[in-house]
């Protein structure tokens, strides 16, 4: 080879050639073994069928949310292949999700409105209503407040701003601080229609503009604890021992009755309501099985959380 040539031959020693030959042979054996292993060992899908998981999306009423969470936890413990997602946000939020077909179950502490039904039907959805429990709306004050009973008319006058001082209803000379849930709450809607307006569909009475609107039951409880001048309302299951429930009469000459499971069952407490679940059409499959359970075994949690179980509940 001349010195002017820019390339040169490279001699590979015999020892290096042997190493490369041995490596190639070892690689061939490894690949062959791997191929045979893939043929002889079944995949996980072949060894055992995959476990299918059914998911239920549940959204809506903050009144029902703790009960819905208790139901979901208990049901999933019994049926591990079912996953139930529960969120609150208010009855209006749950019904809006139903209208948009983004939930399997909408919880509501009020009945669905005709205009909401129309919106759902326009989207090809026929809301299906199921009553899942009963509830009392308790009117609550701070334990330091000496007032222990009110008529429905007095409560309406308080919340519309006609009565503004506790001395006007037998209490001390103190201003009344009004607490309410937000307007998206089914409890708000029910209280407005059945207490503030006293069931009169022609009434246009509204909450006083001085009413403090709170986003949750916990917010009302906190304000009641801190403020001896405050009055609020909430589902019976959310009343805590550090709140005082007011006995209520439909008229001054009627009995004053406190909220309880017993007084809702016997009909003597004047502010009670059904609680609902709505589904997009009659429930089927996993959702129906879950609702069947709610209306039977699940009624135990209804009582435990301070709501009123349904008598002899069964899905039709």
What is the arithmetic mean of pLDDT over 106-128? 97
What is the arithmetic mean of pLDDT over 273-278? 97
DSSP codes of every residue in 171-221? S-S-BPEEEEE-TTSHHHHHHIIIIISTT-TT------TT-EEESSHHHHH
Among 54, 69, 55, residue whose Cα is nearest residue 107: 69
Q: What are the pLDDT digits (tens) for 5-41?
A: 433 333 334 344 444 444 444 444 444 444 444 444 4
Neighbours of 168 (CB within 10 A): 14
What is the arithmetic mean of pLDDT over 222-242? 94
Q: What is the pLDDT of residue 153?
A: 97
Q: How confident is the model at residue 145 (pLDDT cuts 50, 70, 90)?
A: very high
DSSP codes of every residue in 80-92? TTEEEEEEEE-HH
Q: What is the pLDDT of residue 311?
A: 84
Q: What are the pLDDT digits (tens) for 170-212?
A: 999 999 999 999 998 999 999 999 999 999 999 999 999 999 9
CA distance 90 to 280: 18
- Name the pTM for this structure: 0.78
Q: Give, in order, the Cα–Cα distances in Å from 236 to each of 74, 217, 291.
A: 22, 11, 23
84 versus 26: which is more confidently predicted?
A: 84
CA distance 90 to 80: 28
Residue 312 has pLDDT above 90, yes or no: no
Say whether 140 sits in a helix, a strand or coil. Answer: strand
Residue 148 has pLDDT above 90, yes or no: yes
Please state, rounded to an integer, the average pLDDT across all residues of the chain: 87
**Which percentage of the chain shows pLDDT scores above 90?**
79
Say whether 254 sits in a helix, a strand or coil. Answer: coil
Q: For strands 54-60 and 105-108, give the pairing.
A: parallel
Q: Give, in order, the Cα–Cα distances in Å from 254 to each of 151, 234, 240, 248, 309.
A: 9, 23, 27, 9, 27
Among 147, 140, 150, 144, residue whose Cα is nearest residue 240: 140
Q: What is the pLDDT of residue 51?
A: 62
Q: Give, in order, the Cα–Cα distances in Å from 198 to each of 114, 140, 190, 206.
A: 20, 18, 10, 12
Set out the domains of the chain in order of their start, with CATH numbers: 54-134+273-304 (3.40.190.10), 135-272 (3.40.190.10)
Quick one: 147 exposed, middle or buried, by C-beta within 10 A (0-12, 13-18, 19+)? middle
Neighbours of 127 (CB within 10 A): 20
**Which percentage of the chain shows pLDDT scores above 70?**
82
């Amino acid at each position: 080879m001349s010195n002017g040539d820019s390339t040169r031959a490279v001699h590979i020693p015999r020892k290096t050639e042997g190493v490369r030959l041995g490596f190639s042979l070892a690689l061939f054996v490894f690949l062959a073994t791997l191929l045979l292993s893939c043929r002889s060992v079944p995949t996980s899908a072949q060894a055992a069928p995959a476990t299918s998981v059914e998911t239920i999306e549940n959204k809506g009423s903050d009144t029902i949310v703790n009960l819905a969470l208790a139901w979901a936890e208990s049901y999933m413990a019994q049926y591990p292949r079912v996953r139930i997602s529960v969120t609150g946000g208010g009855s209006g939020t749950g019904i809006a999700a139903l209208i948009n077909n983004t939930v399997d179950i909408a919880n509501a502490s009020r009945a669905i409105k005709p205009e909401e039904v129309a919106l759902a039907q326009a989207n090809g959805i026929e809301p299906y209503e199921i009553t899942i429990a009963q509830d009392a709306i308790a009117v609550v004050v701070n334990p330091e407040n000496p007032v222990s009973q009110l008529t429905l008319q007095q409560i309406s006058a308080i919340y519309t701003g006609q009565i503004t001082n506790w001395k006007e209803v037998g209490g001390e000379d103190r201003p009344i601080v009004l607490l309410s849930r937000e307007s998206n709450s089914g409890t708000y809607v029910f209280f407005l229609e059945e207490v503030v307006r006293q069931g009169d569909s022609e009434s246009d009475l509204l909450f006083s503009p001085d009413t403090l609107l709170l986003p949750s039951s916990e917010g009302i409880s906190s304000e009641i604890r801190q403020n001896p001048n405050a009055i609020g309302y909430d589902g019976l299951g959310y009343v805590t021992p550090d709140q005082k429930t007011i006995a209520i009469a439909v008229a001054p000459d009627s009995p004053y009755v406190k909220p309880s499971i017993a007084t809702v069952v016997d009909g003597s407490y004047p502010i009670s309501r059904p609680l609902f679940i709505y589904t997009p059409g009659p429930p089927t499959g996993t959702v129906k099985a879950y609702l069947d359970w709610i209306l039977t075994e699940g009624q135990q949690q209804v009582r435990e959380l301070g709501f009123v179980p349904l008598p002899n509940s069964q899905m039709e």
